[in-house]
Structure 1
Amino acid sequence: MLKLIRLEWRKHRFAGNFLGAGIAMIGILLFLIMIGFLDQGTEDFAFLDYQGSFILIDTFARAVFIIFAGVLISKLIISEYRDKTMNVMFTYPIKRHKIIAAKLILVFIFTFAMIMVTDIIMGALLLAVNQYYGFITEPLESKVLWQMVVKYTISSISAAAMSLIPLFFGMRKHSVTATMVASVLLVSIVCSGFSGSNGPTMSINSIIIIPLTLGAVGLWIAALSMVRLETKDLN
């Protein structure tokens, strides 16, 4: 399996996606800075407390990289089905489900890693900037910080798993458009939220059963796509 993953990495020049991820992180940072300036001095200031600030950062990270995962699924799987290159790959003396599994593992690991890295970098920048400007006055205890790290590790895993859901829609007619539309709709659901009395303190993702359920659905769809290789998807 590791050899297959390495082959997929080289075949699709996967390292180039890190450049795109870096640009996406810069976009997230600029957007967060813009929100900070526009909301400054308002009662529902986006960065009024650590909880709301980290939720906002994690929401943007998940939204961007779930859509990014949709792009990767389109490139690694859907486009190869549409262009018939997948049928050529299936003539190799390798079990078909392993070929798809290698591609999905790449998407999963990349999505998880990029969400976590974004959360950590943006969180560290928030703490550093707050040391100079003090817009968040509440103390940040180490216990609370570690709880957030654990929470958003689980959140990143579930987001990486649920990012596989668009595969189901893309495989219906091997449509890149359907895959991307499904990714955007998924983001609109899981990254929506509602405000508390002092700003954006809650999100749909905070209701833990929702991301865990959607993550399980994503893994189920990945498994189902491999089971169907022998029948409908090859016809």
Structure 2
Amino acid sequence: MMTLLKLIRLEWRKHRFARNFVGVGIANISILLFIILIGITERGAADYVLANYHDAFILIDTIARAVFIIFAGSLISKLIISEYRDKTMNVMFTYPIKRHKIIAAKLILVFIFTFAMIMFTDILMGTLLLAANQYYGFITEPLGSAALGQLVLKYTISSLSAAAMALIPLFFGMRKHSVTTTMVASVLLVFIVCSGFGGPTMSLNDIIVIPLTLGAIGLWIAALSMVRLDTKDVN
């Protein structure tokens, strides 16, 4: 465990991971502006998405998941796919460290970062929504502590499943060590999971079995990538 933690810290410093928070900041500002735009342009509509807390929070969570699943795809491309393509991964495999631990450290870093950033965005945007509603009153229904607790639980489960399914593009990117393929797979995954089919607040993610299944597939792919280290992927 200590070796794995050291590897994670090494990956953090090696790739100057803190720089990604600049991208997170830009992403959150963009999400906020997008939600404000929706709130202004659609106000008064029969299906106004910010008319109640349920629809508003689903919209926030859907956008956050979409943005950071793609963000995770870029991290996988940088930490894993590019290093395979540029042969720097083979150099790392000469270290006296088990190969699967090297990959595990990278994937754990991507998973934790993705989960944390989705949760952070959900909570930040939800807090801003509540604050704005105190002044403008566009949502009239009350939000009790019990409902708020259920909301945080739902956010947590949604963020965990999204962080796990964000690992799925690794499978496609590793076919030919292609960054482009990895990013395309991330975008397609977002279209499949986050696109609305019954309005802006309905998506496949609302069918709980689907995100949980995709999350399990993402974790399985992560495990498979470590199992295959001694065969095709190393050559």
Partner-residue secondary structure (3-state), 2:202: strand
Please report the TM-score for the alignment, with normalisation by the length of structure 1.
0.97
In structure 1, the residue matched to 2:212 is 212
TM-superposition CA deviations, 1:89-136 (whole Å, max 9, x none):
000000000000000000000000000000000000000101111111
In structure 2, the residue matched to 1:202 is 202
TM-superposition CA deviations, 1:161-201 (whole Å, max 9, x none):
00000000000000000000000000001102234xxx644
Q: 1:136-215 to 2 correspondence within 5 Å?
A: 136-195=139-198, 200-215=200-215
What RMSD over aligned residues (CA atoms) do the two structures have, in Å? 0.9
Q: 1:128-139 to 2 correspondence within 5 Å?
A: 128-139=131-142
Q: Is 1:86 paired with 2:58?
A: no
In structure 2, the residue matched to 1:10 is 13
Q: Contact 1:191–1:204 at 8 Å: present in 2 too?
A: yes
Distance 2:158 2:219 in 1: 15
Q: Structure 2: which amino acid aligns with 1:216?
A: A
Partner-residue secondary structure (3-state), 1:92: coil
Runs of at least 4 residues of structure 1 off by over 6 A? none
Q: Contact 1:21–1:114 at 8 Å: present in 2 too?
A: yes
Gaps of 5+ in 1: none
The share of aligned pairs that are identical, in percent, is: 81
In structure 2, the residue matched to 1:221 is 221
Please report the TM-score for the alignment, with normalisation by the length of structure 2.
0.97
Aligned residues: 232
Distance 1:178 1:29 in 2: 29
Distance 1:129 1:208 in 2: 30
Partner-residue secondary structure (3-state), 2:197: strand
Distance 2:37 2:55 in 1: 16
Q: Structure 2: which amino acid aligns with 1:158?
A: S
